[in-house]
Amino acid sequence: MGGVRLAGSVVKGFRAALGFLTTIPVRVQADDYDSFVSRLYLFIPVGLVAGLLIGTTGLAFQWILPAPFAAALTVGCIILLTGINHIDGLSDMADGLVTSGPPEKKVRSMKDVHAGAGGILAIGLDLLFLYALLATFAGSGMSLLFPVFLAEVGAKIAMITVIAFGKSLGPGMGATVIAAAKKSHYVAGIAVAWAAIAIATGITIISYDDFPAWRIGLAGLLAALAPLAVADAVRVTAGRNFGGVNGDVMGAANEMARIAVLVVMGAVLWMRW
């Protein structure tokens, strides 16, 4: 009975994670969120689902449309499926960072409901980089499924890393998740994410003769490690400027890690030597 009860709780938590981290319509009950918050590793399966759905859709666009148009529609799919909460967090964090003064003033700017110049610039750069990278992948002969899948998984790696090692900034959903985070759950989540990245990399090596196997393998390795570096940079920056981490910082880590994964993968796959 204990195993059945645990499985049921995990299913409820995953359902709540899908509802919280994506726009997928799921029926969520009040206690489902408790199951989600208490299991940090549930962020990773959401990244797997999002990566597969967006990557498969992007691949379909890539087959029938010119690369720039396929990339633009794929960016739209990312926003439609993952929502705007994460990119809103990036905007809020950017507003806080460009504000001069003590941490308290920076936090007030970050929590202001109106987007400032820093936030608007951050959103613009995020979308510009995302489009440019996906357009380059789409026109390179590489299936969009591979980089998009790894980017979405990497985004969730960054989120759980910030949560597991970040200091809570104050009351809110972010503080609740940080308080409930367990290092064992973090390790389990990273293990699942890295296993998924390894499998995807292996399948891509077998499927593509146009790219040397060592380049695809190195791209997969860097995609697994880059989110950790991004998360640490975001966590340290937030600590110095705001005094800790909140939901906005977690969302910013998600967005920046997605871009970082695509950048390091592209740097390896497109290098001239």
Percent above pLDDT 70 for the chain: 97
Dihedral pair phi/psi, residue 50, rounded to 5°: -60, -45
Average pLDDT of the segment spanning 256-266: 96
When pLDDT is cut at 50, 70 and 90, the band that residue 171 belongs to is confident
- Residue 197 to residue 89: CA distance in whole angstroms: 26
Which residues contact residue 5 at a Cβ distance below 8 angstroms, ignoring those fewer than 6 apart?
none
Range 26-33 average pLDDT: 78
| Alpha-carbon gap, residue 213 to 219, rounded angstroms | 10
**3-class DSSP state of 26:** coil
Cβ-proximal residues to 74 (8 Å cutoff; 6+ apart), any chain: 54, 57, 58, 61, 134, 138, 144, 148
CA distance 258 to 9: 29
Q: Which helix (H) or strand (E) holds 93?
A: helix 85-98
Q: Is the pLDDT of residue 8 over 80?
A: no
Q: What is the pLDDT of residues 83-107, one digit of tens each?
A: 999 999 999 999 999 888 898 898 8
> CA–CA separation, 93 vs 85, rounded Å?
12
Per-residue pLDDT reduced to its tens digit, 176-234? 899 888 999 999 999 999 999 999 999 999 988 778 899 999 999 999 999 999 999 99
Structure tokens at 177: 């998740």
pTM > 0.85: yes or no = yes
